[in-house]
Amino acid sequence: MTPFTTLTGIAAPMPLVNIDTDMIIPKQFLKTIERSGLGKNLFDEMRYTLDGAEIPDFVLNQSAYRKSQIIIAGDNFGCGSSREHAPWALLDFGIRCVISTSFADIFFNNCFKNGILPVVLPQEAVDHLMDDARKGENARVTVDLESQNVTASDGRSFRFDVDAFKKHCLLNGLDDIGLTMEKASAIDAYEAKTAASRPWA
């Protein structure tokens, strides 16, 4: 998993509330267990017409936001089903951070496990960042996980809280497999001891 330290990038304003996981990645794209290739179908029903043409009004189809790495979203982002494909699709598109006033619990935790930082901020802060993001590609936002600050293009900064363990994992690029591999030597020692004491097992 790619570590998350400091990110400076284009922020896409998505003021909709209750953006659920089926909106993020519709159910017909859940057949794969691969984490790559889902970005092209991110927000599929909002991005494309039924015949596959881009919908010009959708934010990620606009030239200023095609390379967005941050989403400024309305309340309750990631609600709905628990599909892990939702953070996979965001990450494959290039999104590394979502900022909102609240997130659905399962989606929130899945983000950390997949290298995405979900940032919870008060409504006033989200409103400011939303207005800032509407300025386009020159209004870049900086998210510093180490100092736990989000800084708008006008220099205004907002501090956010993050669980210390989740922060450690993101800073060091550790998913569940990575955390297990940190204990590889202890696991090997245990297996060797068990094999010696119970050779019949």
Residue 184: is its pLDDT beyond 60? no
Q: Is residue 186 part of a domain?
A: no
Tell me the CATH number at 124: 3.20.19.10
Share of the chain above pLDDT 70, in %: 89
Q: Label residue 172 by pLDDT band (50, 70, 90).
A: very high
Q: Label residue 183 by pLDDT band (50, 70, 90).
A: low
Q: Is residue 190 part of a domain?
A: no
Q: What is the DSSP string of 122-172?
A: -HHHHHHHHHHHTT-TTSEEEEETTTTEEE-TTS-EEE----HHHHHHHHH
Residue 38: C-alpha distances to residues 25, 87, 103, 117, 120 (Å): 8, 10, 21, 19, 25
Number of domains in the chain: 1
| Domain residue limits at 105 | 6-174
Q: Label residue 197 by pLDDT band (50, 70, 90).
A: confident
Q: Label residue 143 by pLDDT band (50, 70, 90).
A: very high
pTM of whole model > 0.95?
A: no
Q: Higher model confidence: residue 36 or residue 25?
A: 25
Average pLDDT across the chain, whole number:
91
